[in-house]
Structure 1
Amino acid sequence: MLNPDLDSIQLLPEEYERYSRHLILPEVGLAGQKRLKAASVLCVGTGGLGSPLALYLAAAGIGRIGLVDFDVVDASNLQRQIIHGTSWIGKPKVASAQHRLLELNPFLQVDIHETALTSENALTIAQDYDLIIDGTDNFPTRYLVNDTCVLLGKPNVYGSIFRFEGQATVFNHQEGPCYRCLYPEPPPPGLVPSCAEGGVLGILPGVIGVIQATEAVKIILGDAPTLSGRLLLYDAWAMKFRELKLRKNPECPICGPNPTITALIDYQEFCGIPAQPEAPPTLQEGTVQELQQRLQQGNIVLIDVRNPHEYEIAHIPGSTLVPLGDIEQGLGIENVRELAQNGEVWVHCKSGMRSSKALQLLAEKGIQGTNVKGGILAWSDQIDPTVPRY
């Protein structure tokens, strides 16, 4: 409730003590704390960004917090997703996050939506919240969150992270631009690696998530300058902040004066992601069990297309490192061609995505091979558990 009836909102005696450092700030005071208590915020995602922003929103006294996530806690999450703990591995993230938030501040209402946000449910879920915070890590959901906010007239507090870099802004607020004004078209599928493929400094989402929480609190308090119309860029490695000015696109298809998007669409299709991805007809796949048999029989060449630092973490004995980047640049093509003279080519990566791409490039040069389904993660799970997962 961005414009609540403050006379109808009362703080409990325990809340006066809890929020005392807010109450003595003239910019917040009793009226501001009542605004925070009356407000409702929907956090889409309880991962790297969702963890710190939800924790600080809860600590600040946001009265109602909604959490949307369909995933479960994995050990690899805990390097950055600080809202979760080891005891919650394998359990729903929304349940883990709800438990932690209520432990931090029992004077909250925490709603959980254990589901993926989709075109079918986004408007229904989001309509009862004052503002939406985008803590997602994929382009279809970012466009979905944006369009939902524009159609419902709600601010969209945006953040994204990758490796050592992050960015944050506020979309659809104070007549400012929306996400489509900044990114009219999504990048081609596979062009931007995920954090699982490219990595992310664990501390980075803490910085960006806290910035998102700060913007949300300022929007609720009102009269505070926000990042609307400004894109904040952060480089953790260089420890530098930069700022770019954003302008509203007069031809934006959803927030412009003549919108062509008046309802939620198929965002997977919009981002060029097929509903049921299929391997190209020329791509052969084999299981890790089949790979193990072929390695025992000999006359096989196993190519690892991950990066050198990944190979150092873990590798399958007998594999040869030829990074995908080298193959894309043509430098590794002849290396593989030469190796192929020694036997049948099998190719693997971490999970099977990069190796699939490598095989397509190799096929264009007349080199056929078999993709290892599930990559080295499947090898660790099903063949040799001593091979570290990462």
Structure 2
Amino acid sequence: MLSDDELLRYSRQILLKQIDIDGQLKLKQSRVLIVGLGGLGSPVALYLAAAGVGELHLADFDTVDATNLHRQILHDTTSVGRTKVDSAIERIEALNPLVKVVPLRTALDADSLGPAVAAVDLVLDCTDNFAIREAVNGACVAAGKPLVSGAAIRLEGQLSVFDPRVASSPCYHCLYGHGSEAELTCSEAGVAGPLVGLVGSLQALEALKLLAGFGEPLVGRLLLIDALTSRFRELKVKRDPACAVCGTRNG
């Protein structure tokens, strides 16, 4: 059931016929893992908390640096030097004390990723490290949990949803293969703050669609964002039957 406080707080969202009371209850009962609390994870955490997702598991081992502040809106000047998880908890509790926060302050590895993913209904990859992205994807495939993946660098962004519950859905590895360990990061190549805000907001929207069960998630589709020209493109992405990660899964 939703309390009177919840009905008031989420009233504008509940007015949407695609969400309504049933959808809001689904959000309240949902558990989500956010991997990375930087430029992408900031809007993701804020919007999911504001929307009433019942339980947010926050994973980040880093601390807030002054160079983060132009884009990582979850944190502020007083957060510099603090762990991003602790800074995020304070902000989320101030925004919506009805949301339960589960902190994960250490780096997720092969041993800890499995239990962390198994404990939630959906995972959002908000990192900028290929090896971590691959590991998160593998854990999601193994656990059968949907993964919302976003990326942004310079003035370009990407977004897709990988859902092993859908037979035709590719996984992250189907799309990016072995990638490159030499991939540039924002600290090396730069990034525009509003761009990561845009990608992170779209990630949060995809998560709400999956959790509440409305709309058409970006499964089998890759959204490409060119911030320089304000243009969006969409590419179809097929599952690779020979994929080393998801090729042998059932369904």
Q: TM-score, normalised by structure 1?
A: 0.62
Match of 1:125 among 116, 124, 139: 116
Q: 2:61 aligns with which of 47, 55, 70?
A: 70
Equivalent runs, 1:303-342 vs 2, <5 Å = none
Task: Indicate yes or no: 2:26 matched with 1:39.
Answer: no
Question: Structure 1 residue 181 and structure 2 residue 187: aligned?
Answer: no
Specify the alignment match of 2:146 in structure 1: 155
Task: State yes or no: 1:134 paired with 2:153.
Answer: no
Matched-pair contact (CA < 8 Å) for 1:251–1:258:
no
Within 2, Cα distance between the matches of 1:237 and 1:27?
A: 33
Cα contact 1:40–1:63 (8 A) shared by 2: yes
SS at structure 2 position matched to 1:27:
coil
CA–CA distance in 2 between the matches of 1:145 and 1:165? Answer: 22
Give the drift of 1:223.
4.2
- 2:194, 2:215 → 1: CA distance? 27
Partner residue of 1:196 out of 187, 191, 195: 187
Aligned-residue offset at 1:238: 0.8
Match of 2:80 in 1: 89
Which amino acid letter does the alignment assign opposite residue 183 of structure 1? Y
Deviations 1:288-316 (A, max 9, x none): xxxxxxxxxxxxxxxxxxxxxxxxxxxxx
Q: Which amino acid aligns with 1:35?
A: K
Superposed CA deviations along residues 248-268 of structure 1, whole A, max 9, x for unmatched, are: 001111211379xxxxxxxxx
Q: What is the CA distance between 1:58 and its match in structure 2?
A: 0.4
Match for 1:178: what amino acid?
C
Matched residue of 2:222: which SS? Answer: strand
Q: Tell me the CA shift for residue 228 of structure 1.
A: 0.3
CA pair 249-85 structure 1, distance change in 2 beyond 3 A: same
Secondary structure (helix, strand or coil) at the match of 2:27 reads helix
Question: Partners of 2:116 and 2:16 in 1: how far apart?
Answer: 34
Q: Does 1:26 align with 2:17?
A: yes
Measure, in 2, the Cα distance between the counterparts of 1:205 and 1:244: 20
Paired-residue identity, %: 47
Distance between the aligned counterparts of 1:194 and 1:184, measured in 2? 18
Amino acid at match of 2:127: T
Q: CA deviation at 1:224?
A: 2.3
Contact 1:133 1:157 in 2 (8 A): yes
Indicate conservation of the 8 Å contact 2:114/2:143, yes or no. Answer: yes
3-state DSSP of counterpart to 1:123: helix
Task: Give the deviation of 1:55 after TM superposition.
Answer: 0.3
- What's the secondary structure of 2:218's corresponding residue? coil
Aligned residues of 1:163 and 1:200 also touching (Cα < 8 A)? yes
Counterpart of 1:114 in structure 2 is 105
In structure 2, how many angstroms separate the alpha carbons of the residues matched to 1:169 and 1:81? 21
* Cα deviation, residue 22, structure 1: 1.4
Superposition RMSD on alpha carbons, in Å?
1.2
Q: Secondary structure at the match of 2:215?
A: coil
Mark the structure with the bigger radius of gyration: 1
Aligned equivalents of 1:212, 1:226: Cα separation in 2: 10
TM-score (norm: length of structure 2): 0.96
What is the alpha-carbon distance in structure 1 between the residues aligned to residue 138 and residue 249 of structure 2? Answer: 15
Give the gaps of 5 or more residues in structure 2: none
Distance 1:194 1:224 in 2: 32
4+ residue runs over 3 A deviation: none
Q: Which has the higher contact order (CA 8 A, sep 6+)?
A: 2
Please point out which of 226, 232, 235 is paired with 1:235.
226
Partner of residue 263, structure 1: none
**Count, aligned residues:** 248
- Of the candidates 212, 221, 244, which is equivalent to residue 221 of structure 1? 212
Equivalent-residue separation in structure 2 for 1:193 and 1:137 (angstroms):
9
Question: Which secondary structure state, in structure 2, belongs to the residue aligned with residue 158 of structure 1?
Answer: strand
Matched to 2:177, the amino acid is P
Q: Does 1:105 align with 2:62?
A: no
Q: Are the equivalent residues in 2 in contact too, given 1:69–1:116 (CA < 8 A)?
A: yes
Flag the 1:49–1:29 CA change in 2: closer, same or farther, 3 A: same
Would the aligned equivalents of 1:49 and 1:208 in 2 still touch at CA under 8 Å? yes
Which consecutive residues of structure 1, in runs of 5 or more, have no partner in the other structure?
Answer: 1-9, 260-390
Output the CA distance in 2 between the equivalents of 1:231 and 1:61. Answer: 27
Q: 1:258 to 1:127 in 2, by over 3 A?
A: closer
Counterpart CA distance in 2 for 1:132 and 1:193 is: 24
